[in-house]
Homo-oligomer: A and B are copies of this chain.
Amino acid sequence: MTASGANGSRTIGVAVLGMGNVGAEVVRIIGENADDLKSRVGAPVALRGVAVRDLSRPRKVSQDLLTDDPAALVARDDVDIVVELMGGIDPARELIRTALQNGKSVVTANKALLAEYTGELATAAADAKVDLYFEAAVAGAIPVVRPLMQSLAGDTVDRVAGIVNGTTNFILSEMAQTGADYAATLAEAGRLGYAEADPTADVEGYDAAAKAAILASIAFHTRVTAADVYRQGISSVTADDLVAAKKFDCTVKLLSICERVRGADGSERVSARVYPALIPLSHPLAAVNGAFNAVVVEAENAGRLMFYGQGAGGAPTASAVLGDMVMAARNKVHGGRGPLESTYASLPIASIDDVPTRYYISMKVADKAGVLAQVAGEFSKRSVSIAAVRQEGAGEDARLIVVTHRAPDRAQSECVAALEDLESVIKVSSVLRLEGTDD
């Protein structure tokens, strides 16, 4: 099935699907590092072809390697490993499934696809006894998938919390630093190449939610899909929020949180959620700025671990892709396979309503006596205890900021709804959750 190398040894054939930023870097490195790759794999690695959408665009690869027929490339007998970097659900899903069914190992960075269809694809990989690797799908160059899946295989993970979207982290870091508002900073991010023409997937948290689904699935040995992830983006975060956060010695970050929580009946559940949250400036994630990513893992025995690095970009993401490619190729040469999907725990998904959270609520209030008592009454009615209150401004600008202690999210959001109905509350101008505190 596989072509033989010059000296009779096996050659590992690789097909790359997609030649955007990451694909171009993967192709470059396979060429430049051929000798190292050969030594590390134990056999030569040969690029069999690169599938692109537009054949006429000039590319830094020999023209005869290019094809606009990915299905034909994947079907070639001399392809052992398919590297899928085209993104999107279709046709990636079908191409990967076919590749796996035909005994080819697959390396992919496609988080949107994995967040929906890891189950289907992992089953195909297991049936065909081949590898499905996807380190690059979460946090770019940072090894997170492999440490969670392998290094922590003997531990019990309680929590994974990360900054895994570079676009939103760039925007929030800039807003914190410059005081500019969301719209202006998003436009700036676009000009600098940190935000796409249509930034929805990033700023509305879809990308972070897909990554949360992937991380939660691995950490809790449970199949979690994007639909299971509670999601809120950063488009309603204001310049005022960042100023207010600073007054509480906090900053605002878009977090992907995967947590083992207890249901009302005491049973274990998985909470996976994405939202912008205040975190204390002393928290390790607070110092992660710009396009950098970081993931904090808390496990019963390991304690708190942090992984930090570049979460996006062509070369960093290609590094993760190629690490997977080398491992898949080694397995082809030496036998054996990487870990399979592990879903034995099959924990139920917790509703955000039941997850204990803390809230930061900023509201415009009437400048008169008794407002605080009224507001506090709404919290106490719902057994939500208040951790801190700040009254600011006067007259037209009178503002009240409340930070609560931990309570079920439903109770917190019911407090917010009740505040909106209070006569003395003119407007609830901002609601954010608070994370990264012990109490």
Residues of A within 8 A of B (CB): 25, 29, 33, 36-37, 39-40, 135, 141-143, 146-147, 150-156, 221, 284, 299-310, 315-316, 318-327, 330-331, 334-337, 339-340, 342, 344-345
Beyond A40-B342, A141-B301, list 15 extra A-B contacts (CB 8 Å): A36-B156, A39-B344, A40-B154, A143-B147, A153-B322, A154-B319, A154-B324, A302-B320, A303-B316, A304-B309, A305-B307, A306-B306, A306-B308, A335-B335, A335-B336
B contact residues around A40 at 8 Å (CB): 153-154, 221, 342, 344
C-alpha spacing A344/B146, complex, angstroms: 24
B301 lies within 8 A of A318 (CB): yes
B contact residues around A284 at 8 Å (CB): 308
B contact residues around A335 at 8 Å (CB): 335-337
C-alpha spacing A335/B340, complex, angstroms: 12
A126 → chain B closest CB, angstroms: 10
B contact residues around A326 at 8 Å (CB): 150, 153-154
B contact residues around A310 at 8 Å (CB): 302-304
A-B contact pairs, 18 of them (CB 8 A): A25-B301, A36-B221, A135-B151, A141-B303, A146-B146, A146-B150, A147-B147, A151-B323, A153-B326, A153-B330, A154-B321, A154-B323, A155-B322, A300-B315, A303-B309, A304-B309, A331-B336, A335-B336
B334 lies within 8 A of A337 (CB): yes
Most buried by B among A143, A284, A336: A143
Most buried by B among A142, A147, A327, A331: A147
B307 lies within 8 A of A345 (CB): no
B315 lies within 8 A of A309 (CB): no
Q: Indicate which residue in B154, B315, B316, B320 contacts A29 across the interface (CB closer than 8 Å).
A: B154
A323 lies within 8 A of B39 (CB): no
